[in-house]
Amino acid sequence: MLQQRQIAWPAYFVAASLSIIPPVDTVLQIVPLRLGDPRWRFGAFGLLSNAMMIPMVGLLIAFVVSSYFEHRVFQRILGVIAAAIAAAALIGLGLFALDVLQVQGDVKPTGRTAFYVAGSTASIKAILGIMTLTGFAWTAFRAPKKQKDAPLPSGAMIIGGNKKRSSVVAPVSLDVSTPTAAAPAVAPQGADAE
């Protein structure tokens, strides 16, 4: 089990890379921030909703690893992070809907189809991301608490060195205080009976 546990940290690093790098790259693409411009907000939300897909894979890896190795505290931390991002994405989706209404009047008739497709795909990706993040948060808080190891019977021995995964041998008591019936004497074969 020790060798299996050693893979937890590299898996967490991969999960962190997948969860952090794509959103940071996207934020670097949308700076400088122009929060007063509804067209900028429309484009920024579209880029951020695209950037949500790969971090979901990273979160999935982190949740699977924390569940497998029973890192319950870390799993709950991930649940809080997932819930916070889901809430922020839900607020962003509401603001995005208002931006769509505000920007659609400025769109030329030839570009309306592309505008509506971009708005729809960004909304669908955001909704899927919110549902996934909510599922992660729900799972993290519904996970069973770590089971405590059952106490060993007195005098029991552990075979294999690990109380959780090895065989436990209960002590055997031999009761020697009760006399046993004497075995009948048997004459050896071939001996003449006298």
Question: Does residue 64 form part of some domain?
Answer: yes
Distance CA 117, CA 136 (A): 28
Question: Does residue 39 form part of some domain?
Answer: yes
Question: Do residues 58 and 24 touch, judged by C-beta distance below 8 A?
Answer: no
Question: Does residue 163 form part of some domain?
Answer: no
Q: How many domains does the chain have?
A: 1
141's tokens = 């808080």
Question: Does residue 149 form part of some domain?
Answer: no
Distance CA 144, CA 72 (A): 8
Q: Give per-residue pLDDT as tens, 134-186.
A: 999 999 888 776 655 555 556 555 555 555 554 555 555 555 555 555 555 55
**194: confidence class by pLDDT, cuts 50, 70, 90:** very low
Q: What is the pTM of this model?
A: 0.68
User: 3-class SS at 81?
Assistant: helix
Distance CA 144, CA 78 (A): 15
Question: Does residue 166 form part of some domain?
Answer: no
Strands 167-169, 157-159: parallel, antiparallel or unpaired by DSSP? antiparallel
- Per-residue model confidence (pLDDT) at position 4: 76
Name the residue range of residue 124's domain.
Answer: 2-142
Q: Give per-residue pLDDT as tens, 47-91.
A: 999 898 899 999 999 999 998 988 999 999 999 999 999 999 999
**187: confidence class by pLDDT, cuts 50, 70, 90:** low
